[in-house]
Structures are given as structure tokens and as C-alpha cells.
Amino acid sequence: MNTIDIDDEKKDNLPEGFAIPDQIESDLSEIKRIIEGLPEPQQKQIIKSFIEISVKSYFSGPIPPPDLLRGYNSIIPNGAERIFKMAENQSAHRIHMEEYVVKEEIKQSAKGQIFGFIIGIFGLTLASVLAMYGHEWIAGVFGTTTIIGLVTVFVLGKKSQQKK
């Protein structure tokens, strides 16, 4: 691990993107106050040890930075290659799952339309049969609710698709 001498005049020489967290800065000031009476070489060694313990590296994403990959290679044979393979496998799995979900949503939508059509035809047929046998009022209720229900489903379905 690289040690970093955090004297005030050397803070500008930190690696790009490196920032000393506020808590470490506060703790560092406290340590400097405590070790004031010690010789300078001992002070620097204590501060370096504190920094080594306190500073952590963070990265975001599936693949670690090159320095870390080299470290994995030194510990595990082909460690970096294994990490890349794991990231590739995870990416392929995610793509496969997204394709599967899209296909299943299309199937579900098609089934919904088919069953909606069947229910609509059944409701309108029932309304027609009731009307032919003199039950106009009940036929009107079945016909109206069937048509309103189907229109509502299709209109609300279109609105929810537009929001996505």
C-alpha cells in the first residue's frame, strides 16, 4: 500500500480524484496535536501509519481499477482474468433476463387481448340474446358494461404504456 505524507503543503500532490474525508482530516488534526512533543521523524511515521489504516479505496462498477487487478493477479493465478470473466457472465445473464422478461410481457399482453376479446364477444352476445327474448333493460346493462369495460381497459392500458 502506498503511504501518503499529508503535510498541509503536500495536499496538492495527492492523486487525481483523491480527497481526504472530513473525519480523517479531523482525526489527523487531533493526532498532530497529541504528538507535538515528539521528534519530527516519529511524528511523520505516526501520521503515515494513521493514513495507511484510515484511507480506503472506493470504486464503482463491475471491474476494479488496474492496480487492484494486478494485486489480484499476484494473489490468485489469473485473478484479473477471472474477475473479467465474472463481469462478462453477469452482463450476459442480465441481458438474457431482460430479453426473457420482454418476451414474457409480450406473451402476457397477447393473452390479455385474446381473453379480453373473448369476454367482450361473450358479453355482447349475451346482451343480444337477452334483447331477443324481451329483456331489453338487462341486455342494455350487459352491453353497456361490456363496452365501457373494454374501452376503459384499452384506454388505461394505452396511458400506462405511454408513461413507461
Whether residues 105 and 143 fall in one domain:
yes
* DSSP helix/strand/coil, 38: coil
* CB-neighbour burial class of residue 127 (10 A; exposed 0-12, middle 13-18, buried 19+): buried
**23 vs 80, residue with greater confidence:** 80
- Domain-embedded: residue 65: no
With cell 390479455, the residue in question is 112
Whether residues 93 and 38 fall in one domain:
no
Is the model's pLDDT at 6 over the cut of 50?
Answer: no
Distances (CA, A) of 103 to 21, 63, 96, 109: 47, 30, 11, 10
Count structural domains, the chain: 2
Whether residues 88 and 133 fall in one domain:
yes
Mean pLDDT along residues 76-96: 91
Structural domain boundaries enclosing 95:
79-163
**106 vs 55, residue with greater confidence:** 106
Full-model pTM: 0.47
Under 8 Å between Cβ of 128 and 138: no
Alpha helices in 55-135 (DSSP H): 66-75, 79-132
Whether residues 113 and 159 fall in one domain:
yes
Of 56, 71, 102, the domain-final residue? 56
